[in-house]
Amino acid sequence: MKYLLILPGVLVLLVLIAVVRTLVSPRKTSDYQPPQTDEAEALRLAGKLSKMIQVDTTSHAGGDDPARFRAFHKTLAELFPRVFSQLEKTEIDGNLLFYWKGRSREKPILLMSHQDVVPAEGTWSHAPFSGDIADGKVWGRGASDTKCSVMAFFEAAEQLLAEGYTPPTDVYLASSCTEEWAGDGAPKLVAELQRRGVELFLVCDEGGAIISEPIGGIPGNFAMVGVFEKGKADVKFTARSNGGHASAPMANSPSARLSAFVTDVEKHDPFRRKFLPEVSAMFARLAPYAPFGLRLVMGNLWLFQPLMKIVLPRVSAQAGAMLHTTIAFTMQSGADAYNVLPQEATLGANMRFIPHQGEQESLAIIRRLAHGQNPMAPDRGHIHHRLIDMGLNQKQAVAALYVISSILGLSAVVLTSSGAIKAMLFLMALAVAAFLASRVIFRRDIDKALQAEKAAAEEKSTETATPAETVPAEPEEESNEEKKEEA
Applying CB under 5 A, the residues found at the interface with Zn ion are 145-146, 206
Query: In the sheet where 88-92 sits, what is the strand order?
Result: 88-92, 95-100, 169-175, 104-112, 202-204
Minimum Å distance from CB 144 to Zn ion?
9
Minimum Å distance from CB 113 to Zn ion?
7
The helix/strand/coil state of 246 is coil
Minimum Å distance from CB 203 to Zn ion?
15
Minimum Å distance from CB 365 to Zn ion?
28
Q: Is the dihedral of CA 390, 394, 399, 401 positive or negative?
A: positive
Q: Which residue, 146 or 374, is less far from Zn ion as judged by CB?
A: 146
Minimum Å distance from CB 384 to Zn ion?
38
Distance CA 49, CA 39 (A): 15
Q: Which residue, 208 or 372, is less far from Zn ion as judged by CB?
A: 208
Minimum Å distance from CB 133 to Zn ion?
22
Q: Which residue, 145 or 477, is less far from Zn ion as judged by CB?
A: 145
Minimum Å distance from CB 355 to Zn ion?
20
Q: Which residue, 120 or 429, is less far from Zn ion as judged by CB?
A: 120
138: left (phi over 0), alpha (psi -120 to 50) or beta: beta
Cα separation values, 89 from 78, 108, 148, 174, 175, Å: 15, 17, 21, 10, 12
Q: Which of 219, 192, 376 is nearest to 294 (CA)?
A: 219
Q: Which of 400, 435, 428 is nearest to 412 (CA)?
A: 428
Q: How many Cβ atoms sit within 10 Å of the Cβ of residue 81?
A: 13
Minimum Å distance from CB 146 to Zn ion?
4
Largest CA distance in the chain: 93
Q: Which residue, 146 or 405, is less far from Zn ion as judged by CB?
A: 146
Start-to-end CA distance of the chain, whole Å, equals 64
Minimum Å distance from CB 205 to Zn ion?
9
Cα separation values, 244 from 255, 342, 366, Å: 13, 8, 29
Q: Which residue, 145 or 184, is less far from Zn ion as judged by CB?
A: 145
Minimum Å distance from CB 59 to Zn ion?
11
Q: Give the single-character DSSP code of 142.
A: T
Q: Which residue, 150 or 296, is less far from Zn ion as judged by CB?
A: 150
Q: What is the DSSP string of 298-343?
A: HTTHHHHHHHHHHHHHHH-HHHHTTTS-EEEEEEEE--SSTTB--S
Q: How many Cβ atoms sit within 10 Å of the Cβ of residue 311?
A: 15
Q: Judge whether 346 and 428 are in contact, CB under 8 Å.
A: no
Phi then psi for residue 105, to 5 deg, are -90, -10
- Give the CA dihedral 343, 349, 354, 355, nearest 10 degrees: 60
Distance CA 186, CA 189 (A): 5
Radius of gyration of the chain (CA): 29
Q: Which residue, 261 or 353, is less far from Zn ion as judged by CB?
A: 353
Distance CA 274, CA 357 (A): 10
Q: Which residue, 192 or 206, is less far from Zn ion as judged by CB?
A: 206
Minimum Å distance from CB 357 to Zn ion?
24
Q: Which residue, 59 or 255, is less far from Zn ion as judged by CB?
A: 59
Q: Which residue, 18 or 117, is less far from Zn ion as judged by CB?
A: 117
Minimum Å distance from CB 145 to Zn ion?
4
Q: Which residue, 56 or 206, is less far from Zn ion as judged by CB?
A: 206
